[in-house]
Chain A
Amino acid sequence: MGKLPIPEPQIMWRVALVDNSKNENPFGEVISMEHHIDDPSNDSTPKNAVETTDLSLWYGSFQALFNVNFKVKQGLVTSLIGPSGCGKSTLLRSVNRINERFGYVRTEGQVHVLGQDIYAPTVDKTQVRSQIGMVFQRPNPLPVTIRKNILFGYHLKNPGRVAASVEDELVEKSLREVLLWDDLKDKLNHSALSLSLEQQQKLCIARLLPVKPKVILMDEPCSALDPEATAAIEDLIWDLRGEYTILIVTHNMAQARRASDECAFMLMGKMVEHGKTEDIFVTPDHQQTADYIEGKFG
């Protein structure tokens, strides 16, 4: 990471800018913004947007998660870190039940999203997914136009005819929110596959917005992008926090550190430690966490 001098200062500058706009203390942004976010609920402890209780998961006979108890606070950016194969993506993918695409997955325990048990027998998994956005490792816009990509989820939720003006407004609003409107407003009917990877990934975030998900899951959303695009996506994630609860899996320790409020460290399918990002990186409780963060393994 250190070999790429250009993006780093930008990111630092960005964080500093965010800090100053919300808070006088340039180093305490994580803690202070939490207060800022939780103001509307008038509650000193933030509500949990996602809560897993004794969550265990098997791929066939291989157990990938062991009794994971994990709470994601509403409105914050929470990062999941850990070495490859530690189960962080599996945990993320069980929050919207996209894991179940593969028939050999078996889940035990509970996952509550905004108080609802999403594994309850009466719950329809497509309904769960439509309320929880997901961004994938490789940008995966659908092979249709930019406009249709943005409206895809909205049309699923609102079958039947929608006034063109409503659609136009949704498209513009979503693209503005991910800062793509100025670039793409004249080519809404171009194929989404014609965009750069960065634009594609932003589009993949933009298309979640019309259905107003409460939680957005991100599975290494920047790993296919160059450092500048990564900075842009991180900016965007930071802008979306508050209104959306964001759970992000990352391999990139520096990213977890600079772009999340809370951080959870997983190892061998178990949740080792979860706390404020600052604390995890500066004073971790577990030796394993410290070793991983220092790069002793992983």
Chain B
Amino acid sequence: MSSKSSKSGEVLDKRDLSWYVDRLAQALMFVGGISAIIFIVGIFVFVFKEGFAFILDRFDIVEFFTSINWRPTSVAKETYGALALIVGTASITGMAMLIAIPFSLGAAIYIGEFATGKTRETLKVMVELLAAIPSVVWGFIGLTIMNGVIIELFNVPIGLNVLNAGVILGLMAAPIMTTIAEDALKAVPDKYREAAEAMGATKWQVIRKVVLPAAKNGLVSAVLLGIGRGFGETMAVLMASGHSINIPGSPFDSVRALTATIAAELGETAVGSNHYGALFTLGIFLFLITFVINLTADRVVRGIRRS
């Protein structure tokens, strides 16, 4: 290489070490970049392949969505009604959002609009730490602490119920929602705030009349991603919800979630059996729901960029 570059005529053609390193780096980045696509397609194919035989063979769409009888191991007659599971997941997620939306939006507004300097940095780190707590730890808190608290506080026989799982899930979803909502607030150009303040708006008026409307799409997508998180969360929900198949009449009823069902039952099924296929069908259903929610969130965020 050095002999080549010493000839003045070939200087432009030299391929030295940094040229090869650059090529290699580009190739590695490319593999890293497309691996996300490869993995998502791979998971999609795998889940569908495992569930497909069941869907073709045994699946009854009416039963799946309208029956509350999830009896995959019944000797007399297997039934695969997922209604109670769907309602269980939805009720836990709904309860979680009741808790997470006010908390996370409040936290995001405080961090983004009020806190300054050290307070702000500390809070951001704390929120990120909160997001890093493993879900099984949350489940443990639900199982031990929240269970007793709910029994004590509301005088109910069981503390593992919609309320428990909802509170735990809400606390789990709040950090990520806070982070996304705060990003949305930060994306609102400061000149809007300045303009409103120059017209005599108070801090709260600026937030309510200018910042929140301008950040609306980002905030909606924060909530949507929180909901997506709620649908997909497994371990904490399994531990805190009571895991009993039930259409809840109140927050104090135990329920069972779609994800928890898969986690609890998949280890006990024979590969390729109806039960196995049914669990993968639940997986496909969950996959579709979270896919739609994330896609919607993404579209909503793009909407704000366009306008």
Cα separation A191 to B192 with both chains bound (whole Å): 14
17 pairs, A vs B, C-beta closer than 8 Å:
A98-B194, A98-B197, A101-B194, A101-B197, A126-B202, A130-B200, A133-B198, A134-B198, A134-B199, A140-B192, A143-B192, A152-B199, A152-B209, A153-B199, A153-B200, A157-B200, A193-B307
Residue of A nearest to B202 (CB): A126
Produce 1/0 per residue, A188-204, CB < 8 A to B.
Answer: 00010100000000001
Given contacts A98-B194, A129-B199, A152-B199, 11 further A-B contacts (CB under 8 A): A98-B198, A101-B193, A101-B194, A103-B116, A126-B200, A126-B201, A131-B200, A142-B195, A143-B192, A204-B195, A208-B199
Interface residues on A, range: 20 to 34
Question: Measured between C-beta atoms, what is the minimum distance from B198 to chain A in Å?
Answer: 4
A32 interface residue (CB < 8 Å to B)? no
Of B191, B200, B209, B214, the residue contacting A129 (CB under 8 A) is B200
Say whether, besides A103-B116, A138-B191, A143 and B214 are in contact (CB < 8 Å): yes
A221 interface residue (CB < 8 Å to B)? no
Chain A residues lying within 8 Å of B202, measured Cβ to Cβ, are 126
Chain A residues lying within 8 Å of B106, measured Cβ to Cβ, are none
B53 interface residue (CB < 8 Å to A)? no
Contact A127 B200 (CB under 8 A): yes
Question: Measured between C-beta atoms, what is the minimum distance from B287 to chain A in Å?
Answer: 36
Question: Measured between C-beta atoms, what is the minimum distance from B58 to chain A in Å?
Answer: 54
Question: Measured between C-beta atoms, what is the minimum distance from A143 to chain B in Å?
Answer: 5
Say whether, besides A103-B116, A143-B214, A144-B213, A156 and B199 are in contact (CB < 8 Å): yes
Cα separation A144 to B191 with both chains bound (whole Å): 14
Contact A96 B198 (CB under 8 A): yes
Cα separation A129 to B201 with both chains bound (whole Å): 8
Contact A136 B199 (CB under 8 A): no
Contact B195 A141 (CB under 8 A): yes
B90 interface residue (CB < 8 Å to A)? no
B196 interface residue (CB < 8 Å to A)? yes
B210 interface residue (CB < 8 Å to A)? yes
Chain A residues lying within 8 Å of B197, measured Cβ to Cβ, are 98, 101, 126, 129
Chain A residues lying within 8 Å of B26, measured Cβ to Cβ, are none
Of B116, B191, B209, the residue contacting A136 (CB under 8 A) is B191
Contact B194 A136 (CB under 8 A): yes
User: For chain B residues 99-116, which have a beta carbon within 8 Å of chain A?
Assistant: 116
Chain B residues lying within 8 Å of A211, measured Cβ to Cβ, are 199-200
Cα separation A207 to B197 with both chains bound (whole Å): 13
Question: Measured between C-beta atoms, what is the minimum distance from B171 to chain A in Å?
Answer: 32
Cα separation A101 to B200 with both chains bound (whole Å): 12
Chain B residues lying within 8 Å of A138, measured Cβ to Cβ, are 191
B205 interface residue (CB < 8 Å to A)? yes
Produce 1/0 per residue, B173-205, CB < 8 A to A.
Answer: 000000000000000000111111111111001
Contact B199 A140 (CB under 8 A): no
Cα separation A11 to B218 with both chains bound (whole Å): 46
Contact B192 A142 (CB under 8 A): yes
Contact B201 A140 (CB under 8 A): no
Residue of A nearest to B188 (CB): A143
Residue of A nearest to B192 (CB): A142
Residue of B nearest to A130 (CB): B200
Contact B201 A156 (CB under 8 A): yes
Cα separation A152 to B196 with both chains bound (whole Å): 8
Contact B201 A142 (CB under 8 A): no
Question: Measured between C-beta atoms, what is the minimum distance from A202 to chain B in Å?
Answer: 15
Cα separation A208 to B198 with both chains bound (whole Å): 10
Residue of B nearest to A141 (CB): B195
Cα separation A131 to B196 with both chains bound (whole Å): 13
Say whether, besides A103-B116, A136-B194, A156-B205, A142 and B210 are in contact (CB < 8 Å): yes
Contact A207 B199 (CB under 8 A): yes
User: For chain B residues 278-307, which have a beta carbon within 8 Å of chain A?
Assistant: 307
Residue of A nearest to B199 (CB): A153
Cα separation A208 to B196 with both chains bound (whole Å): 11
Contact A140 B200 (CB under 8 A): no
Cα separation A39 to B271 with both chains bound (whole Å): 97
Residue of B nearest to A191 (CB): B307
Contact B200 A136 (CB under 8 A): no
Chain B residues lying within 8 Å of A136, measured Cβ to Cβ, are 191, 194-195, 198
Question: Measured between C-beta atoms, what is the minimum distance from A89 to chain B in Å?
Answer: 13
Question: Measured between C-beta atoms, what is the minimum distance from B101 to chain A in Å?
Answer: 23
Chain A residues lying within 8 Å of B200, measured Cβ to Cβ, are 126-131, 153, 156-157, 211
Chain A residues lying within 8 Å of B199, measured Cβ to Cβ, are 129-130, 133-134, 152-153, 156, 207-208, 211
Cα separation A128 to B210 with both chains bound (whole Å): 20
User: For chain B residues 142-162, which have a beta carbon within 8 Å of chain A?
Assistant: none
Cα separation A96 to B194 with both chains bound (whole Å): 12
Residue of A nearest to B193 (CB): A101
Chain B residues lying within 8 Å of A153, measured Cβ to Cβ, are 199-200
Cα separation A112 to B199 with both chains bound (whole Å): 19
Cα separation A157 to B200 with both chains bound (whole Å): 8
Question: Measured between C-beta atoms, what is the minimum distance from B194 to chain A in Å?
Answer: 7
Cα separation A98 to B191 with both chains bound (whole Å): 12
Chain A residues lying within 8 Å of B201, measured Cβ to Cβ, are 126, 152, 156
Chain A residues lying within 8 Å of B198, measured Cβ to Cβ, are 96, 98, 129, 133-134, 136
Question: Measured between C-beta atoms, what is the minimum distance from A123 to chain B in Å?
Answer: 12
Residue of A nearest to B304 (CB): A143
Cα separation A129 to B193 with both chains bound (whole Å): 13
Produce 1/0 per residue, B222-257, CB < 8 A to A.
Answer: 000000000000000000000000000000000000
